[in-house]
Amino acid sequence: MVRKRKKKFSTKKFLRFFIPLIIILTIFLYKDDIYTLYVYKTTSYSDDTINVIKDNNLDINILNKKYSQTLENIINTEYFDVKHVDDYLEINYLDRDNFSSNISKLLSLNYTPKEINIIYDKLSDESIDIIINNDYLSDLIDIINLSYFKEDLLERYIEYILKNDYEIETAIIYVNIGLDKEYYTNVSEISDQDDILVLVNKYHKLSENYVPDDLKTISAKYQWAGRSNTLRKEASDAFEKMCEAATKDDIYIYAGSGYRSYATQLYLYNNYVLQDGFDAAETYSARASYSEHQTGLAMDIANKNGFISESDKEYKWLIDNSYKYGFILRYPKGKENITGYMYEEWHYRYVGIDVAKEVYESGLTYDEYVAKK
Ligand SMILES: [Zn+2]
């Protein structure tokens, strides 16, 4: 007979079985609290930040994400806004003036964290103040990212865009030229007057006493009506070369009017005003100091009858070939609002072959070309 072993109660066994069960049960019941405790212990945020998160019943997972100095800094200021918590996490922290207040203003203007990062990456605090003082500008990032965006013009860009209906690129180029201001206002003196690429227009003037020191008289055979026009040496040589090339195509072009001194321009302009009135003269004659002819790089080109006009075969030849010799048509048709001058079929400007080719291929005026640099 097999003796049945009597089951005996064992405390040891009981403990071995129930203690783990109780632990598991406790963990299960209090898992949220345990997790919360764990997050509080392991997060890099300060106690103050943790308290604000607690007080506002915010998702504690915020504390678990990548540490954000932006959140840490703003959370205990008056600028903290619960609805932007996730946005703060995406904004790269920078040690800049009024950072917390500025980002809160940008967020309330509806700029996204991504946009705010670009704004802060590219602009100074002064520019950020300008942005904050305006309404949301949906094109702002596109503007900032243009290669020819000039930060010191930001306020003028915004004003011009709000007032006009231009495409963004056009508006920026126009402001770069200076077209948001009246002609002959906001004028600057040209710093390098001897630069072959010098831009002279109704916003950029030469000094009264500027005379190029390398003026050269163009060969008599390319002078119109026995004149003695000069250009700066490089331009003068290029002009003769162009005349010579034209001859081979049976085209005969001449130097009608090249370099003109300040005094000559003053005399001409005043005479035109007397003759045609101020408003008319302004459309075709430059005030003294503002004439390209004073650079020794501009030429009014003639055929045997006088200055070239659109219907002349010489006009067509020049349009197709002048850039190969470094010359560009300076005041084209339909661009009067940009150049500030009426269409001048005869007025060419020397800029050198490389730039002339670029301007020719771009279809831009020289003013726009420079404004995109
Ligand atoms: Zn001219």
| Domain layout of the chain by residue ranges | 44-133, 137-180, 190-364
Helix (H) or strand (E) holding 332: none
Contacts of 43 (CB under 8 A, 6+ apart): 50, 63, 64, 67
**What's the whole-model pTM score?**
0.88
* % of residues, the chain, pLDDT over 90: 83
Cα(286) to centroid(ligand 1), Å: 9
Architecture of domain 190-364: 2-Layer Sandwich (3.30)
Cα(300) to centroid(ligand 1), Å: 5
Cα(347) to centroid(ligand 1), Å: 4
Residue 4: pLDDT above 80? no
Cα(242) to centroid(ligand 1), Å: 18
Cα(279) to centroid(ligand 1), Å: 18
Which of 50-59, 329-338, 358-367 is least confident? Answer: 50-59
pLDDT (tens digit, 9 = 90+) per residue, 142-191?
Answer: 999 999 999 999 999 999 999 999 999 999 999 999 999 999 999 999 99
pLDDT at 21: 87
Residue 352: pLDDT above 60? yes
- As a whole number of angstroms, the distance between CA 8 and CA 1 comes to 21
Cα(56) to centroid(ligand 1), Å: 73
Residue 3: pLDDT above 80? no
Cα(173) to centroid(ligand 1), Å: 24
Q: Is 302 helix (H, G, I), strand (E, B) or coil?
A: strand
User: Nearest 5 degrees, angle CA 259-CA 262-CA 265?
Assistant: 75
Q: How distant, in Å, are the alpha carbons of 227, 233, 308, 357 from that of 363?
A: 32, 27, 21, 10
pLDDT (tens digit, 9 = 90+) per residue, 40-81?
Answer: 888 889 999 989 988 888 888 888 888 999 999 999 899 999
pLDDT at 16: 83
**Per-residue pLDDT band at 5 (split at 50, 70, 90):** low
Cα(346) to centroid(ligand 1), Å: 7
Mean pLDDT, range 97-117, rounded to an integer: 97
Residue 2: pLDDT above 60? no
Tell me whether residue 69 is exposed, middle or buried, using C-beta atoms within 10 angstroms of its C-beta: 0 to 12, 13 to 18, 19 or more. middle
Q: How distant, in Å, are the alpha carbons of 24, 70, 115, 233 from that of 77?
A: 42, 11, 23, 67
The CA-to-CA distance between both ends of the chain, in Å, stands at 110
Check: CB of residue 309 under 8 Å from CB of residue 346: yes
How many other β-carbons are positioned within 10 Å of the β-carbon of residue 61?
10
Strands annotated E in 110-258: 188-189, 204-205, 215-217, 230-232, 254-257
Cα(345) to centroid(ligand 1), Å: 9
- As a whole number of angstroms, the distance between CA 187 and CA 305 comes to 37
Cα(7) to centroid(ligand 1), Å: 121
Cα(124) to centroid(ligand 1), Å: 42
Cα(266) to centroid(ligand 1), Å: 14
Cα(317) to centroid(ligand 1), Å: 18
- As a whole number of angstroms, the distance between CA 136 and CA 128 comes to 12
pLDDT at 247: 98
- One DSSP character per residue, 19-34 reads HHHHHHHHHHHTHHHH
Cα(298) to centroid(ligand 1), Å: 7
Cα(245) to centroid(ligand 1), Å: 22
**Per-residue pLDDT band at 8 (split at 50, 70, 90):** low
**Per-residue pLDDT band at 277 (split at 50, 70, 90):** very high
Q: How big is the chain by its Cα radius of gyration, in Å?
A: 37
